[in-house]
Amino acid sequence: MTRHPLRILQIMRAPVGGLFRHVSDLTHELSARGHQVGIVADSLAGDAQTESKLLKLEAVASLGVHRFPIPRLLGSNDLITPFRISRLSKALDVDVLHGHGAKGGFNARLAKLLNRKCVSLYTPHGGALHFDQRKPAGAAFMAIERLLIGQTGALIFESAHAQKVFAEKVKEPRCSHHVIHNGLAASEFEEISPDQGAADFVYVGELRWLKGIDLLIEALAPLRRSDGSPATLVMAGDGPDAPALREKIQRLGLEQRVTLVGVQPARDMFARGRCVVVPSRAESLPYIVLEAAAAGRPVIATAVGGIGEIFGPTSSELVTPDNAPALGNAMAAYLADGAGLAASTALRHRHIEAQFSISHMTDQIEAVYRGLVAS
């Protein structure tokens, strides 16, 4: 029996980071399966990078790319935009409203309240879960999350960790809820070898203290290779703490050992370092860990968020977070016996190849859509 294609609106605020990567991958795969997909994004963020990303999605978003004002924090547009999205969903005869991130979920569920013909889903992607409940903004977002549970057809969490945090900070969901991990394309499972002359370690990500970049620099400082020469690091990315990072590198006298290369594609960077380091203080389900493990690279990472789910059978190797000495010990162990990590690297590669593909991710999300529409 042939199933009819669904008409789906993916709703988010800003097309940035892992959230956008997820929405883009899902949109491409759903479109390839014959579904009609539209995108709703914020009209207040209009930089060249944002416009370029959304323009690329237009080719596969047959229901169009639509822009409405969606402020990052609560604002007057939050009273207007849900009505506009509801009108759009009616005009497009949409079956599914899928909100991504705190503001995407907010708008998807309020729009559904105004259009009873469609169903609504919500994937937090961290979102409001990162807010501190003890502060006014955090308390307000958690209260809104609790109020909107009744308008949520299903919750999709990208990790079991996110599901646990949601239950702790918001409430145990009474609606349908699922853990569906993010996925990678088949080409991303092709292994990458380090370039000749590659640095000992490579970091790829946002330059923010939250990502543990200060701890990484501190851990690197005393490290030496087996021949006594100092260990080296190359770092790709940009962010609000880039100036402070440069100052710290200079203060510790590491200018000749740490190379900053700006924003670069992750797979290109994997060839520029022999071991990938992810020293984060907090994460959800970071794509960089998935991508590095899929590329067959050794990975040193902290035990935060859903990283343990990515590491799977090798999760005992994760490092205590916010602890420069522990991070340094793991890096020193790699320098002493890099080949010793080969078995766990291969085991981790097999684990994520089976569990973290875009096809597997979309199979599960598509099943949730159809179950809601049929109910």
Q: Give the residue among 374, 375, 370 at the shortest CA–CA distance from 98.
A: 370
Q: Determine, yes or no, domain membership for 89.
A: yes
pLDDT tens digits for range 52-67: 888 899 999 999 999 9
Task: Tell how far CA 10 is from the center of its chain.
Answer: 16
* Pair (110, 156) in one structural domain: yes
* 126 and 42 co-located in one domain: yes
Are residue 294 and residue 370 in the same domain, yes or no?
Answer: no
Residues 121, 193 within the same domain? no
* Whether the Cβ atoms of residue 9 and residue 36 lie closer than 8 Å to each other: no
- The DSSP letter of residue 288 is H
- Token digits of residue 252: 């510790």
Same domain for 219 and 75?
no
pLDDT of residue 309: 96
The label of the residue with tokens 């990500």 reads: 205
**Are 144 and 133 spatial neighbours (Cβ–Cβ below 8 Å)?**
no
Domain assignment of residue 1, yes or no: no
**Same domain, yes or no: 303 and 317:** yes
Helices (H), the chain: 17-32, 48-57, 81-91, 101-114, 136-148, 160-169, 213-220, 242-251, 266-270, 287-294, 307-311, 324-336, 342-355, 358-374
d(C-alpha 341, C-alpha 227), whole Å: 20
Task: Give the chain's radius of gyration (CA, Å).
Answer: 22
- In one-letter notation, the amino acid at residue 209 is W
* 2 in a structural domain: no
pTM of the model: 0.88
Q: Is residue 201 part of a domain?
A: yes
What are residue 306's phi and psi, to 5 degrees? Answer: -95, 15
Instruction: Answer yes or no: do 11 and 79 share one domain.
Output: yes
Instruction: Give CA–CA dist 140/130, Å, rounded.
Output: 13
Are 138 and 18 within one domain?
Answer: yes
Same domain for 163 and 220, yes or no, is no
Please state the rounded mean pLDDT for residues 184-204. 96
pLDDT tens per residue across span 295-329: 999 999 999 999 999 999 999 999 999 999 999 99
Residue labelled with tokens 């030496």: 224
Q: Contact 21/287 with Cβ under 8 angstroms?
A: yes
- Give the pair of three-digit tokens for residue 327: 């991070």
pLDDT band (50, 70, 90) for residue 2: low
Q: What is the CATH number of the domain that holds 126?
A: 3.40.50.2000
For residues 270 and 334, state if they share a domain. Answer: yes
- CA count, 13 A, side-chain hemisphere, 5: 14
Task: Let me know whether 22 and 136 are in one domain.
Answer: yes
pLDDT (average), residues 95-116: 94
24 and 166 part of one domain? yes
Instruction: Give domain status of residue 32, yes or no.
Output: yes
Whether 162 is in a domain gets the answer yes
341-357 pLDDT, tens digit per residue, is 889 999 999 999 999 99
pLDDT of residue 3: 79
- Is 155 domain-assigned? yes
Task: State the Cα–Cα distance between residues 77 and 84, nearest whole angstrom.
Answer: 10
- What would the pLDDT profile of 70-82 be if each residue is shown by its tens digit? 998 878 888 999 9
Per the structure block, which two tokens stand in for 254? 């590491």
Domain range spanning residue 298? 187-355
- Domain total of the chain: 2
